[in-house]
Amino acid sequence: MTARPALAPASPAWADLPTHRVWLDGECRRLLAFGAAAALPGGGAAYLDADGRPAPEFGVQTWITARTAHSYSLGHLMGIPGSADVADAALAGLRGPLRDAEHGGWFHAVSSDGVPDLASGKSCYDHAFVMLAAASATVAGRPGAAALLDDATSVYLERFWDEAAGRPVDTWDVTFTRLDDYRGLNATMHSVEAMLAVADAVPDADAAAWRARAASAAAWVVRLAQEHGGRLPEHFGPTWEPELELNADRPGDQFKPYGATPGHGLEWARLLLHLEAATPDGADALLPTAVGLFDRAVADGWSADGAGGFVYTTDWSGVPVVRTRMHWVVCEAIGTAATLHERTGEARYADLYAGWWDYAERYLIDRKRGSWHHELDEQNRPAATVWPGKPDVYHAMQATLIPRLPLAPTLARALKEGLLR
């Protein structure tokens, strides 16, 4: 393997400044302090309202609980006091009330009084986040995490990974007897994130297989990007044919919005760079796709209607459909700009990175009530049409970490190895 040459930035980059890294560290700690109230005495993590208080009407949700376990495992690896307690409470929820002891896997949610959500079935999205949580907690040495990781990976491989297709299926009924026809890119994306983390948490003998699965799913996304001009289809039928008009009648769906999602183009671009760094012998072709996805997402999504911020979705010609601004999209833009700058040394990524942090400080970071506004309207005012409250700190916290860590290994392993800049 030939090492890639390091390219010097053409202009000063915030991510390289010690003073900016101090600022990122302070913002990371502020977010962790806000989200700590999510820890529930009976296990699990609450959905948080705009003031950081548990919102019982949302119950205890697996994906939020798993993202909390992941985030606070990272906090523990950073040496931030109190993080282990929050991580352990979330892990207790994944081992306890959210786990389906009869049929295996994890419920989508349980109500505030412990009644499982049976109607939503078992989703790949939820189970990918359980794998991510268990992997990060295992690296962080949290009690019971290794057993949880064994359980989560076994369920994922048995129920969700389609070996013939080289990508995951999406949703089963709660008993794992009926597989839904729907296939989704969102669950595939978070599966790749989780599989890379699992590879850094399991023995070396198993790591290569997890990276190979991630590479298989990523190869499909490369083809999709080429076939659709960088606007990735999100929804597919049972034989993986794109369903481009799905949910045209409810375009702002939380998990299945109509059209192209610029934020997912950004997130996929970043994940491709992490995969490339983790598998340098066979993934050099991923950089052009990452650049293409990034450029398309920025061209379509950023200030697309004349105001700052990324629109949530566009149609297949790039015209905005849902013009509200989601905080997670800016978080992914920040992280992807940082990774592209690290990978290429090009000054334009550093400039965009700095500009997006300016936008976040001006509109998204809530200095009065804590955390970040999760949604803004098209005039960049706080809104709650898709995401009420401030459910968790996962996206914003990672935006403070990714610029300070190498492209590989994944976050928990990099922190464990003392690679935080």
pLDDT value of residue 7: 37
CB atoms within 10 A of CB 82: 14
Q: Is the CB of residue 75 less than 8 Å from the CB of residue 31? A: no
Q: Is the CB of residue 353 less than 8 Å from the CB of residue 337? A: yes
Token pair 């671009």 is found at 269
CB atoms within 10 A of CB 13: 21
Q: What's the CA angle centered on 220, arms 394 and 155, to 5 degrees? A: 55
Nearest C-alpha neighbor of 252 from the set 343, 168, 325, 341: 325
User: For 165-175, what is the mean pLDDT?
Assistant: 98
Radius of gyration of the chain from Cα atoms? 20
Strand partners, 109: 61
Nearest C-alpha neighbor of 48 from the set 390, 359, 383, 279: 390
Residue type (1 letter), 252: G
pLDDT value of residue 281: 74
Percent of the chain past pLDDT 70, that is, above it, reads 96
pLDDT of residue 3 exceeding 60, the answer is no
| pTM for this entry | 0.96
pLDDT value of residue 15: 87
Q: Is the peptide bond before 409 cis (omega within 30 degrees of 0)?
A: yes
Confidence of residue 146 (pLDDT cuts 50, 70, 90): very high
Report how far residue 112's alpha carbon sits from residue 79's, in angstroms, rounded to the nearest whole number.
Answer: 31
pLDDT value of residue 284: 62
Q: Return the HEC string of the chain.
A: CCCCCCCCCCCCCHHHCHHHHHHHHHHHHHHHHHHHHHECCCCCEECECCCCCECHHHCEEHHHHHHHHHHHHHHHHCCCCCHHHHHHHHHHHHHCCCECCCCCCECCEECCCCCECCCCCEEHHHHHHHHHHHHHHHHCCCCCHHHHHHHHHHHHHHHHEECCCCEECCEECCCCCCECCCEEHHHHHHHHHHHHHHHCCCCHHHHHHHHHHHHHHHHHHHHHHHHCCCCCCCEECCCCCECCCCCCCCCCCCCCCCCECHHHHHHHHHHHHHHHHHCCCCCCCHHHHHHHHHHHHHHHHECCCCCCCECCCECCCCCECCCCEEHHHHHHHHHHHHHHHHHHCCHHHHHHHHHHHHHHHHHHECCCCCCECCEECCCCCECCCCCCCCCCCHHHHHHHHHHHCCCCCCHHHHHHCCCCC
Report how far residue 127's alpha carbon sits from residue 134's, in angstroms, rounded to the nearest whole number.
Answer: 10
Strand partners, 162: 167
80-90 pLDDT tens trace:
999 999 999 99
Confidence of residue 9 (pLDDT cuts 50, 70, 90): very low
Percent of the chain past pLDDT 90, that is, above it, reads 93
Confidence of residue 1 (pLDDT cuts 50, 70, 90): very low
Strand partners, 320: 314
User: For 211-234, what is the mean pLDDT?
Assistant: 97
271-326 pLDDT tens trace:
999 999 999 775 568 999 999 999 999 999 999 998 999 999 999 999 999 999 99
Confidence of residue 30 (pLDDT cuts 50, 70, 90): very high
329-388 pLDDT tens trace:
999 999 999 999 999 999 999 999 999 999 999 999 999 999 999 999 999 999 999 889
Q: Is the CB of residue 98 less than 8 Å from the CB of residue 118? A: no
Confidence of residue 2 (pLDDT cuts 50, 70, 90): very low
Report how far residue 44's alpha carbon sits from residue 97's, in angstroms, rounded to the nearest whole number.
Answer: 8
Report how far residue 221's alpha carbon sits from residue 377's, in angstroms, rounded to the nearest whole number.
Answer: 30
CA 195 vs. chain centroid, Å, equals 12
218 token code pair: 């990523």
pLDDT of residue 100 exceeding 80, the answer is yes
Confidence of residue 168 (pLDDT cuts 50, 70, 90): very high
What residues act catalytically?
A: 264, 395
pLDDT value of residue 253: 85
4 token code pair: 């890639």
pLDDT of residue 189 exceeding 60, the answer is yes
pLDDT value of residue 246: 96
User: For 405-420, what is the mean pLDDT?
Assistant: 98
User: For 63-76, what is the mean pLDDT?
Assistant: 98
CB atoms within 10 A of CB 171: 21
Report how far residue 265's alpha carbon sits from residue 349's, in angstroms, rounded to the nearest whole number.
Answer: 16
pLDDT value of residue 138: 99
CA 223 vs. chain centroid, Å, equals 21
Confidence of residue 13 (pLDDT cuts 50, 70, 90): confident
pLDDT of residue 12 exceeding 70, the answer is no
Q: What is the mean pLDDT of the chain?
A: 95
Contacts of 356 (CB under 8 A, 6+ apart): 330, 333, 334, 337
pLDDT of residue 6 exceeding 80, the answer is no
Looking at per-residue pLDDT, the higher value among 250 and 167 belongs to 167
Confidence of residue 254 (pLDDT cuts 50, 70, 90): confident
Per-position b or e across 327-362, b if 16+ CB within 10 A of its CB: bbbbbbbbbbbbbbbbbbbeeebbbbbbbbbebbee
pLDDT value of residue 4: 36
pLDDT of residue 11 exceeding 80, the answer is no
Report how far residue 36's alpha carbon sits from residue 53's, in angstroms, rounded to the nearest whole number.
Answer: 10
